[in-house]
Amino acid sequence: MNHNRPGAGPLTVTVLVFPGVRLLDVTGPIEVFTSANDLGGRYRVRIASEDGAAVITSAGTRISADVRVDDVREPYDVLVVPGGPEWETLLKDDALLEAVRRLHGLARCTASVCTGAFLLAGAGLLRGRRAVTHWRQSRQLAVRFPSVRVEPDAVFVRDGPMMTSAGVSAGIDLSLALVEEHWGARVARAVAKDMVVFMQRPGGQSQFSVRSQVPHSRQETLRRVLDAVAENPGAPHTLATMSRHAGLSVRHMSRLFDEEVGTTPARYVEQVRLEAAQVLLETGDDPLPVVARRTGFGSAESLRRAFVRHLGVTPGAFRSSFRTTGAGRATANSGEREEETEQDGQA
């Protein structure tokens, strides 16, 4: 769908709203499309609600609607389905799901933001398709809708005419991708610069997830092993060492991890070490080699490879992105940023 041609008319974007919708899920995409109008794109954005009335968002803010769902009768370009924190309740709203189906039937492209993916899935629109939602709800989406191929680390996913995006601000990433598709990279880049956001953010949403807790296990022996790894990730937790401490054979230990944790011992240990390193990078000033030794990676190079493999960013970039917003650091800490960059390069 390439509309980047002379004389092309404005593209119509319909944003569905409903009581309890998340505010930024709505305003983020709208801001992208309306900003594009000043920078080389042409969009007509309208807000639709079931009855055409205003709705109260989850933030308590009132949003007015431009049109009733039933009054949308002509084909148009993009449908945006936002989410809301009470997505489980929304899935029981048959009228809302029917509104999603009706608007989708007239749209050339249907896109969801955050938990809006549940509404698309509940409406039967994601069967057999790849999709993403907020990292907190990825597992629920996969369990409730097993025909949906959930990609938990993606920021946004396109599968045919369907697009889904991850948590909240990822709706901006998705909308920028649509602007690029419609009007070209130059316009999308201008919008991203105007909004002071990444045109394509580094890494996936794994880097935003909370620290994983020690998995629950029915096996007391395995629980003790999992606890020991979590409490001291820097210790030498090889399969042989863990098996010996538990009084189990290597084969038995591997089978327990597969059955109870759903991964291998080596992968579990690496994940715990990765999360421990994230905490140190966010909260401390230790150089990367020290962080690597304290968390069991041994060297800054091993730490760097693990970060790039799992999170899509280097340790130095992670520290710069997540320790602070940067307010008040402009000149005083420029040397610190240079040091982190140099360390990362050496890693």
| Positions marked active-site | 114
260 contacts 218 by C-beta, under 8 angstroms:
yes
Sequence-distant (≥ 6) Cβ neighbours of residue 325 within 8 angstroms: none
Q: Which sign, positive or negative, has the C-alpha torsion 89, 90, 91, 93?
A: positive
**At residue 265, what are phi and psi to the nearest 5 degrees?**
-55, -40
Q: Which two tokens stand for residue 101?
A: 């189906």
